[in-house]
Structure 1
Amino acid sequence: TKIELGCTKDGQILAIRTETLANVGAYLSNFSTATPTFLHGTLMSGPYKVPHVYVNVKTVFTNTAPVDAYRGAGRPEATYSLERVIDKMCRELNLDPFEVRRKNLLTPDQFPYQSPVGLLYDTGNYQATLDKAVQMADVAGFAKRAADSKARGKLRGMGLSTWIEACGIAPSNLVGILGSRVGLYDAATVRVNATGNISVMVGAHSHGQGHETVFAQIVAEKLGIPESSVEIVHGDTSKIPFGMGSYGSRSLAVCGTAMTKAVDKIIAKGKKIAAHMLEAAEGDISFEDGKFQVAGTDKAKTFGEIAFSAYVPHNYPLETLEPGLEETAFYDPANFTYPAGAYICEVEVDEGTGKVDVVAFHCADDFGNVMNPMIVEGQVHGGVGQGIGQALCEFTTYDENGQLLTGSYMDYPMPRAEDVPFYNVDYSCQTPCTHNPLGVKGCGEAGAIGSPPAVVNAVIDALQRGGHTHVTHIDMPVSPSRVWSAING
């Protein structure tokens, strides 16, 4: 990608122009063309108010392996290009990279915001996440830490990345306009058994994301029952409703919303049953804390009693009230969700070897409402680890015949535990999504999107502070050999 940025002398961004040539390999895979276009070009204005954006993407076939979506898929590349060129602009104009970003970030009163590249951001507070990251990273104390590093023979640098992503991949009408031949809804079936236990069949597959925990938690909270009473069923197409899968940070925002809507239908059916059992009008029945109650009275039935009655309909008015308690819902979002955040990375660089050590990493994220903090932190940790790997070491190499030379982990470097620091993660800056009932935005890809430019910006900052002012850019991965060559070039 070649990116150009036009701005005023004080750092106000006026225009961005990008030209991308994307290698899709020898043949097409599921998301090979969507990744550099639909998932990349539409994010080229980032979290900033940019009046003019031009994006030109060409995809080409080559004799290398086909490519497909990888955590972030197009959005890390857009964020990387944008955050690197902003840092370069700040350095050339001798401007503070924190203040330049603050000047250009969208403000809360500008939402909903129609971006110049097609997306409608519904909500956000980008200044809040930037302020939180600055606080977490103790930016004011950086000079002392840099001096300590210098005393140990290392160059220390700080890098910033403010990012946004479009995820909760959908809606169907938008992907249809873009040429997709599938819908991007999802579905869930909630089956209440006569004992009051619940089976939830979901279209999104769990392979480590923690759906079994979070989905059960949401259903249990809505129905006022123990989480142990909820079973999540996924991955068996003979049992589950037709869904569109787990990717694009969509499981909770899309499938979770379908599940929530199915639970709402269960509650509505429960009110009909309760009205019959309590000899009251359906409109007088409320549901709270696992109990159906007649308003203004102490007449009530527990959720378990309603569940049992649903399957023992001895005196039901069958012409108006069916037995059973099972509901299905499909959900097709009206828009993407838009998580955002600010990441600050600190590195130490060994001038003699070019080795880069990530010594601190701070993440301030806005994921909307957070359902399970532990799972959110785990997702951010994993994403940042992958982003650090991309920034520092991961790279595929082919010979002139398209033969992959890095085909095993003996040749392809992966980040190890010693390559990553203890992460400092915060998600307290929450602006709930406005178009799904959970108010969630998705967190699975965030770390991989915001981290690569933060790492590379930190490396360039360290070299500049160390007097290597001729080094203004190093392509990823910023491996020891590349850093050493840049220093001595």
Structure 2
Amino acid sequence: NPDAVTVVQGDSAVVPRGVGTFGSRSTTIGGSALLTALERVKAKANRVAGALLEAPAADIVWSDGRIHVRGAPDRALTFTEVAAAAYQPAKLPADVEMGLDAQAVFRLSGLVFPFGAYAAVVDIAPDTGATSVVKLVAVDDAGRIVNPLLAEGQVIGAAVQGLGQSFVEQVVYGTDGQLLTATFADYALLRAERSPEILTEFLETPSPLNPLGAKGIGEAGSIATPAAIASAVLDALRPLGVRHLDLPFTPEKVWRAIRDADRT
């Protein structure tokens, strides 16, 4: 029952160690460590339940929120009952320590890389250089997807960040060397209402390097989106002889490229 689980997060004081989340490692490494710890807790809970139900731990099964003997669903306990018994020495086998907790450290045996392919359709107004994104398609292979809703939200959010990098975000300095875009009042960020249609799709090829089969998906959208936008913009300008433009593709920059191409 998920409602019976309380997740404590964001406080490194309650865990043995905490070095941060980066490199799309939360699910790949943290999730694998969590799974390992849960498997240890479950193995111990099976021994406790076996003692209470007078059955070998190997015959204990979990189903529908109950813990019972295989083939005898009527002989069942709740997880709460098993957890409570784990702290009562009189109810434990002699070789089982009191308590129901576990720690785990997971280390990857190699690097895990996700894969993806992004495509964009853009429309450029020649008179102004304004570029609009008609559609952005994101296809990612991030291994086994643990939470599809969160994965989709991560891709869309990162894609919007990549769109911001493509069109509006830039660090601007004045002629005197002073930074002009140091606050949110000056630094342009893409707003939700300006975001285009973003289609997402996932291909699941499990990684063999962790028990979850995950590959991570944190940076996929923000890395691939600017490349897809650049390819689309330059494809649109290629007939004019434009082969390269630096990000961001501001209207002025695109308009100047079109103007200069017309002059030649």
Name the TM-score, length of structure 2 as normaliser: 0.90
Partner of 1:433: 207
Counterpart in the other structure of 1:321: 96
Equivalent pair of 1:286/1:293 in contact (CA under 8 Å)? yes
Q: How far 1:375 moved relative to its partner? A: 1.1
Q: Which runs of 4+ in 1 moved over 6 A?
A: none
Residue 343 to residue 472, structure 1, CA distance change in 2 (3 Å): same
Matched, 1:304 2:80: yes
Is it true that 1:253 corresponds to 2:24 in the alignment? no
- State the Cα distance separating 1:275 from its structure 2 match: 2.3
Displacement after TM superposition at 1:236 (Å): 2.6
Partner of 1:448: 222
Q: Percent identity?
A: 40
**What secondary structure does 1:326 align onto?**
coil
Could you tell me how far 1:272 is from its partner in structure 2? 1.4
Superposed displacement of residue 374, structure 1: 1.6
Q: Tell me if the contact between 1:291 and 1:301 (Cα under 8 Å) persists in the aligned partners.
A: yes
Aligned to 1:101: none
Q: Distance in 2 between matches of 1:259 and 1:251?
A: 10
| Alignment partner of 1:476 out of 236, 244, 247 | 247
Q: 1:457 aligns with which of 222, 231, 239?
A: 231
CA shift for structure 1 position 441? 1.6
- The offset of 1:399, in angstroms, is 4.3
CA 1:252–1:311 in 2, change beyond 3 Å: closer, same or farther? same
Q: In the aligned structure 2, how far is the partner of 1:341 from the partner of 1:383? A: 14
Q: Which structure dedicates a bigger proportion of its chain to helix?
A: 2
Task: Pick closer, same or farther for the CA change 1:410–1:281 going to 2, 3 Å.
Answer: closer
1:383 paired residue among 154, 158, 163: 158
Per-residue deviation, 1:408 = 2.4
Bigger Cα Rg: 2
Contact map agreement 2:135 2:198 (CA 8 A) in 1: yes
Deviation at 1:370, TM superposition (A): 1.5
By how many angstroms is 1:473 displaced?
A: 1.0
Q: How does 1:15-54 map to 2 (within 5 A)?
A: none
Cα distance, 1:452 vs structure 2: 0.3
* CA drift at 1:444: 2.0
- The residue aligned with 2:40 is 265
The residue number in structure 2 matching 1:424 is 199
The letter for the 2-side match of 1:404 is L
- Amino acid across the alignment from 1:227: P
Q: What one-letter code is carried by the residue in structure 1 that aligns with 2:197?
A: F
Compared CA separation, residues 276 and 356, structure 1 to 2 (3 A): same
Give the deviation of 1:293 after TM superposition. Answer: 3.7
Q: Quick check: 1:369–1:431 contact (8 Å CA) kept in 2?
A: yes
Higher strand share: 1
Deviation at 1:383, TM superposition (A): 0.6
SS in 2 for 1:329: coil
What code does the residue aligned with 1:359 have?
Answer: V
Map of 1:487 onto structure 2: 258
- C-alpha change, 1:312 and 1:363, in structure 2 (3 Å) is same
Describe the SS at the equivalent of 1:311.
coil
8 Å contact from structure 2 (residues 85, 92) kept in 1:
no
In structure 2, the CA distance between the partners of 1:453 and 1:316, relative to structure 1 (3 Å rule), is: closer
* Structure 1 residue 360 corresponds to structure 2 residue 135: yes
Determine the structure 1 residue equivalent to 2:112. Answer: 337
Aligned-partner SS, 1:331? coil
1:417, 1:291 → 2: CA distance? 44
For the 8 Å contact 1:394–1:412, the answer to whether it is kept is yes
Q: Report the RMSD for the aligned CA atoms in angstroms.
A: 2.0
The equivalent residue for 1:96 is: none
Q: Determine helix, strand or coil for the equivalent of 2:117.
A: strand
Is residue 357–residue 419 contact of structure 1 (8 Å, CA) maintained in 2? no
Q: Deviations over 1:6-35 (max 9, x none)?
A: xxxxxxxxxxxxxxxxxxxxxxxxxxxxxx
Partner of 1:371: 146
Which structure 2 segments of 5+ residues have no match?
A: none
Secondary structure at the aligned position of 1:233 is classed as: coil
- Report the Cα distance in structure 1 between the residues aligned to 2:104 and 2:161, rounded to whole angstroms: 35
Q: How many residues align?
A: 259
Aligned to 1:405: 180
What one-letter code is carried by the residue in structure 2 that aligns with 1:371?
V
Give, in whole Å, the separation in 1 of the partners of 2:92 and 2:9. Answer: 33
| One-letter amino acid of the counterpart of residue 456, structure 1 | A
